[in-house]
């Protein structure tokens, strides 16, 4: 049994995932300037862009496969933003990027507790 609250959290997670994919996608395009300005970007830049791309794919994947997409987006966010943790921005960005996963988790939990309550 899905409760109204679990449906609300599922929709909130999907909306947040789309908005975050848009915002982080714009940053991804901005970071592509490294490949235009520098002949051969360092390996670190290639790896960071790859992880950033995986994060975007994960956010978009949540629309179809909530668990897989959430794990991909949250894992890539941890890898991508962890170098910024000493500057206190990293944890904030990791948490913001993980908001859809948190919403999907709450929706799942609320749906399960509603089933147990009715059984």
Q: How far apart are CA 36 and CA 48, in angstroms?
A: 16
Q: Average of pLDDT values for 70-86? A: 90
Q: What is the pTM of this model?
A: 0.85
Tell me how many domains the chain contains.
Answer: 1
**What digits encode the pLDDT tens for the residues 24-69?**
999 999 988 777 877 788 888 889 899 999 999 999 999 999 999 9
Please check the confidence at residue 6 and state whether its pLDDT lies above 50: yes
Please check the confidence at residue 119 and state whether its pLDDT lies above 50: no
| pLDDT of 116 | 66
CB atoms within 10 A of CB 95: 13
Please check the confidence at residue 21 and state whether its pLDDT lies above 90: yes
Q: How far apart are CA 49 and CA 43, in angstroms?
A: 10
| pLDDT of 1 | 53
Sequential DSSP letters for 90-105: HHHHHHHHTHHHHHHH
9, 107 contact by CB (below 8 A): yes
CB atoms within 10 A of CB 109: 12
Q: Where are the alpha helices (DSSP H) in 62-88?
A: 66-81
Angle at 109 between CA 89 and CA 52, to 5 degrees: 30
Residue 112 is part of which domain span? 4-118
């Amino acid at each position: 049994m899905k409760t109204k609250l679990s449906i609300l959290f599922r929709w909130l997670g999907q909306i947040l995932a789309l908005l975050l994919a848009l915002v982080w996608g714009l940053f991804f395009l901005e970071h592509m300037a490294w490949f235009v300005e520098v002949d051969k970007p360092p390996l670190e830049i290639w790896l960071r862009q790859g992880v950033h791309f995986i994060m975007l794919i994960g956010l978009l994947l949540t629309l179809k496969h909530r668990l897989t997409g959430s794990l991909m987006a949250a894992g890539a966010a941890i890898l991508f933003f962890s170098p910024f943790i000493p500057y206190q921005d990293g944890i904030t960005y990791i948490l913001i990027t993980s908001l859809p996963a948190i919403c999907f988790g709450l929706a799942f939990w609320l749906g399960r507790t509603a089933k147990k309550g009715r059984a």
